[in-house]
Amino acid sequence: MKLITRDTDYALRALCFISRSSAGKFSVTKLSKELGVPRPFLRKILQTLNKQKILESTRGKAGGFILAKDPKKIFLTDIIGIFQGRLKLNECFLNRLICPDQRTCLLRKMLVKIERYVLKELGSITIASLLK
């Protein structure tokens, strides 16, 4: 089971890389070489981050991506949310109507509790904090 999928991972790497360097703006080509991430895939990811206002893009010849937000204000849960949807550990049970047993109650309570914990923990991490 994965808590963090590949695209989230790549997004985090890219954001960390950009944050760390003073240069500010990077093209996909440059980033994909630096991070060792397939270019077209990374491109799609950065485009998504742009749409979500995490990055800001400039088009044209000397174009590229820069941070649109203070790294202190980009939370892990934001990025996970963007690529994996809102974290929901208990979805299988909520989605299922047929849950006639009481067990679901206790189990669901448990899952909700775990979910809250995970969200709290992940919500406490920012890109800035990942930079060390």
Partner DNA sequence: ACAATTGATACAATTATAGTATCATTTAGT
Partner DNA sequence: ACTAAATGATACTATAATTGTATCAATTGT
Find the helix or strand (DSSP H, E) in which 93 lies: helix 91-95
Residue 118 binding: pick among a second copy, DNA, none (C-beta 5-8 Å cut-off by kind): a second copy
Strand segments, DSSP code E, in 1-132 are 55-58, 64-67
What is the rounded distance in angstroms from the CA atom of residue 89 to the CA atom of residue 71? 27
Judged by CB under 8 A, does residue 121 bind a second copy? Answer: yes
Does position 47 interact with DNA (CB under 7 A)? The reply is yes
For position 21 contacting DNA by CB under 7 A, the verdict is: no
Contact between 62 and DNA per CB under 7 A? yes
CA distance 23 to 18: 8
Q: Contact region for a second copy (CB under 8 A) — 39-47, 56-64, 65-73, 112-120?
A: 112-120
Residue 3 interacting with a second copy (CB under 8 A): yes
